[in-house]
Amino acid sequence: MSEEHIIESRNGSAWQLPAIIVLGLVAIAGLGFGWNASSKLDSTQQTVATQVKTVEQSVQQDMTSLKDRFAEDEKANADMQGDLKVVTDRLKITQGQLKKARLQADAAAKQNDETTQKLTALDTSVHTELATKAGTDDVTNVDTKVTAVSTDLNTTKEDLKMAKSELGTLIARNHDEVDQLRRLGERDYVEFTIAGKNKPQKVGNITVELKGVNEKKNQANIAMTVEDKRFEKKNRALNEPIFFYISGTHIPEEIVVNKVGKDQISGYISIPKANAQQTSASTNSGK
C-alpha cells in the first residue's frame, strides 16, 4: 500500500511541473501580445490625432480664405453698385443732352428751310425784275462781253502754262512768252542777241560774253560780269535759268538763253522790280 502511494505521488508531481511551465509561457505570451497591441493602439491614436489636427488646420485655412474672398466679393459688389449709379446718372445727362441737341437740330433745319425759301423768293424776284428792266439787246451785249472775257481768261491760262524754275519763277521760251511775263508786272525783262564770240555786251545791269556754242546739243558757254566779278557758265542748256544776286538785294535775277546758232545766242535777263527799289535804297543810304 505504501509503495503504490509513493509511486502515485511521484507520477502526480511529474505532470504538474510541465503544466505550470506551459501556463507560465502562455501567460507571458499573452502579456507580450497585449503589450504589443497596446503599443500599436497608442501609435494609431497619435497618428489619428495628428491627421485630425492637420485636417482641422486645413479647414481653418480654407474658412479664413473663404471669409477673405467673401469680403473681397462684397467690396467688388459695392464698387460695381457705385459705378452703376454713376453710369446711370451720366446716361440720364447724356439723354438730356441728346434730346436738347435734337431740338436744336430741328430748329436749325426749320430755319434753313425758311432761309432757303426766302432766297428762292428773292432770286425769283430779282430775275423777274431784271427780265422786266433789261431788254433783249442788253442781255445779248452782256452775254457777248462775258463770253469774250471768259475766252481771254482761258487764253491767258493756256499761255501761262510755262515751265517753272526750281525757285518757282516762270521761264519764257520765246519773245511772245516774254511779253506775257512782262504784262504780269512783277519783273523787268531785257532781251538780247549776242553775235560773235569774245565780244562782251552790256545787257541790263550785267555784261554778257559768248564763249562758245554746241548747236547739236543746244548748249552754250557764256561769261558774266556782275559788279566787277566775272563768272563762266559752261554747257548751259536752252531755257535753263542761271541765277545771280546783285549787292543789296535778296531776290535773284536770272539770265535765260532761248536760242543758239553759229557763234550766236538769244535770250533775256529777268530783273525783279523789288531789286531796283532795294538797290536805290542802298545807294541813298550810302550817300
Read off the C-alpha cell for 169: 519763277
* Residues 197, 211 contacting (CB under 8 angstroms): yes
- On the 0-12 / 13-18 / 19+ scale of CB atoms within 10 A, 221 is middle
Please state, in angstroms and rounded to a whole number, the distance separating the CA atoms of residues 96 and 44: 77
User: What whole-number distance in Å separates Cα of residue 222 and Cα of residue 234?
Assistant: 6
Per-residue pLDDT of the chain (287 residues; tens, 9 = 90+): 455 555 555 555 566 777 778 777 887 877 777 777 777 777 777 887 788 788 778 877 878 877 888 788 788 878 888 777 776 676 665 677 667 767 766 765 666 566 667 667 766 765 666 566 555 555 455 456 545 545 554 554 455 567 787 777 889 999 999 999 999 888 999 999 999 999 999 999 999 999 999 999 999 999 999 999 999 999 999 999 999 999 888 889 999 999 999 999 999 999 998 766 555 555 555 55
Q: What is the Cα–Cα distance from 175 to 184, expressed in whole angstroms?
A: 15
What is the distance, to the nearest Å, from the Cα of residue 48 to the centroid of all Cα atoms in its chain? 73
d(CA 65, CA 59): 10
Q: Rounded to whole angstroms, how far apart are CA atoms 272 and 155?
A: 25
Contact status, residue 146 vs residue 153, Cβ threshold 8 Å? no
Say if CB 239 and CB 191 are below 8 A apart.
Answer: no
Buried-state track 224-242, b at ≥16 Cβ within 10 A, e below 16: bebeeeeeebeebebbbbb
Pairing of strands 206-214, 201-203: antiparallel
- Give me the residue spans of the domains in the chain: 1-132, 164-286
- Rounded to 5°, the CA angle 40-41-42 comes to 90
The residue with cell 507571458 is 28
In angstroms, the CA 263 to CA 175 distance is 20
- In CATH terms, is domain 164-286 a member of 2.60.98? yes
Cβ atoms of 247 and 178 within 8 Å: the answer is no
